[in-house]
Structure formats: structure tokens, C-alpha cells
């Protein structure tokens, strides 16, 4: 994916400009009585994936008490000292572990102002759990929550398989978390409090710069009152990072215990581009009504096993394995980021610019 060139613009004016918002319908789909309503649910999911790429699900069977308990566990983890959390450092090999201020987005060229802890099923987490002495009960609570999310995910995977003309268990088998080749990840996220008064350097506190998820399907939980998630749907904006485009806020719906779901790049690939991977972000607070406090969320990334064979029903793209798709996505994104950073370095030296282009997406 390439960023749009930005030349000779008044970046300070652009940064201070208010975000443009529009209202978009985000479908809400009930999983109530799933077995008898599977055809209806499938039709709704396919329509949402084709037209928006984002939707919420309700009546999914995970009690709010379980969600709240996992948020409590997340707070417990992140309240540990950095010295303790550093005992389980992020491992690129297993895509698991703790990181802080380390994820740089292509859309911003800057690190997200957050920390996260990624968990997987099975041997990929060997050595990446804090000890029971350090955090009693955490591992058991996390795995129970992850298994509940996997159960919900498998219902959605079954519907997507039906919608694409595959056997019902096609995607479920490809995402079998019992196998050592599993890549599915649950990510606890903690965004740091943002100062309301801009600092003298003009630094922008990006929470999660505009991006598209590269996996299959993401399930996201948000906490009440901790807004910031915004979407800008469609493949066209996912390749331009939404410069100049309008955004839509996705507020936490705690009353309905809604799970926010979005299509990833891999599902778009696997559907021969029929389903849309949607650009989204957690906005860098800048307007008076924005939420500036600490923000917690939990994301569950459905990602296929490393040896899963990936090709859409129309065979629009060559067959790849789950491991190859992941590696290709990481390589492509890394190269694009390096190109952007070099471009920003050159742009920052031009007399017309007061700052690098990395700042633009925070207000796009």
C-alpha cells in the first residue's frame, strides 16, 4: 500500500483543522438462535462485509461480566511495572508478548502512544506469560476469555465460508487454535492519557494511526466512555490512508454488549476482493469533545494457521499459505514504512514545510 504524496502544504493549518465526520450505517447483527437463523445471519454478514467492512454483533453469548472481568485483568497486567512486563517481551517470531510505544504506523510515520500485550494459544506463549506469583489467576482468565471468543469467531467463520461457497467448516479448520501452527492472537491494549494542552514541540499523540488489519477478521471490545475508534470504509481509502476523507465514530455500545468486527486484508484476499478491508484508527485527541484519558480495548485477531492454504473461490490471486501471507504483509508494510520515513526526512528539509508528512493523518 502506498501513501499519497503531500507536497507544499501548510501542515500546521492541516493539523489544527477539525476532523470531517459523516454518518454511515454500521450494521448490527444478532447471533441469537444461531443454528436456526444461520441463513439469515449469513446473508446479513455478507452484505455488511461487501458494503462496509465493519459491523457489530450482539447476542453472541459472552456475558458482560466476563468481558468486564477481562478488562480488570488487563488493568492488572498494565499496572505492573515496566520491569515486570519486560519479563515477557514482544517476540516477532511468535507475534506475542508485551511492547510499549513500539508500533509505528505507515499512515503517521510515528509510534502509537500505547502499550499492548499479545497472547496466543498453545506453545507460542511458552515463556511469554507472567508467573502465577506475579499475576495470580491472569493466565487462566485470559485463556478462558480467548476460548469464548474463538467459539463466537467460529460461528462467523462458518457464515463466511457459506457465503463464499466453501464447506461450512472450511475457515474453522483453517483457524484451528488447537494446532501448533495457530496464529490467532488476543491483544490487550492500553492507550496512555493524552495532554489537553499541546506541547511546545507540536508533538501529536497518535493512539492508533489509520491502518487496515492484515488478518482475517478482528473482534474488538471497548470500555464505556472511552471513545476514539473511527472508520473510513472501502478499499480505495485503505490505499490512500484517508487523506481528506470523512470519518465515522464507532462509539462503545455497552448496553447491548456489542462486539465490533472488521474485515481484514486477508479476508479481502480470500474473497477475491469481494469483501472490503476497512481503514480505521483510534483518533489522536485534539478536539474539545474528544476523550483524552487512559483507554483500554481488547482485540481478537482471527488469523489462519501457518500451513493453511489461502485462495479465493475465483482464484483471482495465487495460492499462498498462512505463513506466506503473514510474511508478505509484514515485508510489504516494513518496506512501505521505510520508504515513507525517508520521504518524510526529505520533506522535512524543504523550506515550505514546517514538519514531516507523518503528522497529517492525525487530523485527516
Query: Over the stretch 173-184, which tens digit does the pLDDT of each residue have?
Result: 999 999 999 999
In the chain, the domains with their CATH numbers are 38-330 (2.60.120.330)
Q: How confident is the model at residue 360 (pLDDT cuts 50, 70, 90)?
A: very low
Q: What share of the chain is helix, strand, coil (3-state, %, to 5)?
A: 35, 20, 45
Q: What is the dihedral of CA 256, 257, 258, 260, to 10 degrees?
A: 150
Looking up cell 472488521, which residue turns up? Answer: 262
Mean pLDDT of 273-296: 83
pLDDT at 171 over 50: yes
pLDDT, mean of residues 67-86: 97
Cβ-count burial of 96 within 10 angstroms (0-12 exposed, 13-18 middle, 19+ buried)?
Answer: buried
Residue 300 has pLDDT above 70, yes or no: yes
Mean of all residue pLDDT scores within the chain: 82
Per-residue pLDDT band at 257 (split at 50, 70, 90): very high
Output phi, psi for 9, to 5 deg. -110, 160
Which secondary-structure segment (H or E) carries 75?
A: helix 64-78
> In sequence order, what are the beta bridge partners of 118?
97, 187
- pLDDT value, residue 302: 97
Per-residue confidence at 60, pLDDT binned at 50, 70, 90? very high
User: Can you give the pLDDT at residue 15?
Assistant: 39
Query: What is the distance, to the nearest Å, from the Cα of residue 347 to the centroid of all Cα atoms in its chain?
Result: 29
Mean pLDDT of 98-116: 73
- Give pLDDT, residue 350: 45
pLDDT of the residue at 231: 86
Q: What global pTM score does this model have?
A: 0.84
Average pLDDT over residues 104-110: 59
Distance set, CA 173 to CA 192, 202, 216, 318, 322 (Å): 38, 49, 14, 20, 13
Q: Other C-beta atoms within 10 Å of 127: how many?
A: 12
- What is the distance, to the nearest Å, from the Cα of residue 308 to the centroid of all Cα atoms in its chain? 22
Q: Which of 31-45, 55-69, 178-192, 214-228 has the lowest mean pLDDT?
A: 214-228
Backbone φ and ψ of 345, nearest 5°: -65, -40
Instruction: Give the residue with greater pLDDT, 81 vs 103.
Output: 81
From residue 149, how far is each of 28, 61, 94, 298, 325 by CA, in Å? Answer: 18, 10, 20, 11, 23
- How far is 278 from 266, CA to CA, in rounded Å? 12
More confident residue, 284 or 81: 81
Query: What integer pLDDT is reported at residue 328 of this predicted model?
Result: 83
What 3-state DSSP class applies to 188? strand
pLDDT at 246: 80
What does 219-277 look like in DSSP terms, one character per residue? EEEE-TT---EEEE-SHHHHHHTTTT--BEE----TTTT-EEEEE-HHHHHHTTT-S--
Amino acid at each position: 500500500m502506498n501513501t499519497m504524496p503531500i507536497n507544499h502544504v501548510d501542515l500546521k493549518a492541516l493539523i489544527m483543522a477539525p476532523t470531517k465526520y459523516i454518518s454511515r450505517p454500521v450494521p448490527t447483527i444478532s447471533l441469537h438462535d444461531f443454528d436456526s437463523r444461520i441463513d439469515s445471519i449469513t446473508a446479513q454478514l455478507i452484505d455488511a462485509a461487501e458494503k462496509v467492512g465493519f459491523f457489530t454483533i450482539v447476542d453472541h453469548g459472552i456475558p458482560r461480566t466476563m468481558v468486564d472481568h477481562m478488562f480488570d485483568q488487563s488493568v492488572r497486567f498494565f499496572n505492573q511495572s515496566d520491569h515486570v512486563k519486560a519479563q515477557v517481551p514482544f517476540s516477532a517470531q511468535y507475534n506475542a508478548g508485551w511492547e510499549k510505544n513500539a508500533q509505528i504506523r505507515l499512515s503517521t510515520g510515528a509510534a502509537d502512544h500505547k502499550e499492548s500485550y499479545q497472547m496466543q494459544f498453545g506453545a507460542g506463549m511458552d515463556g511469554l506469560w507472567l508467573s502465577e506469583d506475579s499475576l495470580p489467576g491472569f493466565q487462566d482468565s485470559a485463556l478462558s476469555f480467548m476460548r469464548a471468543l474463538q467459539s463466537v469467531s467460529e460461528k462467523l467463520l462458518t457464515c463466511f465460508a457459506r457465503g463464499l461457497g466453501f464447506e461450512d467448516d472450511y475457515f474453522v479448520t483453517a483457524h484451528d487454535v488447537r494446532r501448533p501452527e495457530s496464529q490467532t492472537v488476543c491483544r490487550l491494549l492500553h492507550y496512555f492519557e493524552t495532554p489537553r494542552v499541546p506541547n511546545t514541540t507540536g508533538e501529536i499523540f497518535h493512539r492508533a494511526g489509520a491502518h487496515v488489519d492484515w488478518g482475517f477478521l478482528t473482534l474488538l471490545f471497548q470500555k464505556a466512555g472511552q471513545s476514539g475508534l473511527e472508520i473510513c470504509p472501502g478499499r480505495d481509502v485503505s490505499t490512500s490512508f484517508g487523506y481528506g476523507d470523512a470519518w465515522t465514530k464507532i462509539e462503545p455500545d455497552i448496553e447491548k454488549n456489542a462486539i465490533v468486527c472488521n474485515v481484514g486484508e486477508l479476508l479481502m484476499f480470500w474473497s477475491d476482493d469481494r469483501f472490503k478491508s476497512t481503514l480505521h484508527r483510534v483518533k489522536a485527541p485534539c478536539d474539545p469533545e474528544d476523550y483524552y484519558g487512559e483507554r483500554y480495548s481488547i482485540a481478537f485477531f482471527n488469523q489462519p494457521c501457518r500451513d493453511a492454504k489461502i485462495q479465493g473461490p475465483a482464484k483471482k490471486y495465487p495460492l499462498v499459505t498462512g505463513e506466506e501471507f503473514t510474511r508478505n504483509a509484514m515485508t510489504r508494510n516494513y518496506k512501505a514504512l521505510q520508504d515513507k520515513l525517508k520521504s518524510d526526512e526529505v520533506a522535512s528539509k524543504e523550506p515550505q514545510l514546517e514538519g514531516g508528512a507523518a503528522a497529517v493523518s492525525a487530523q485527516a
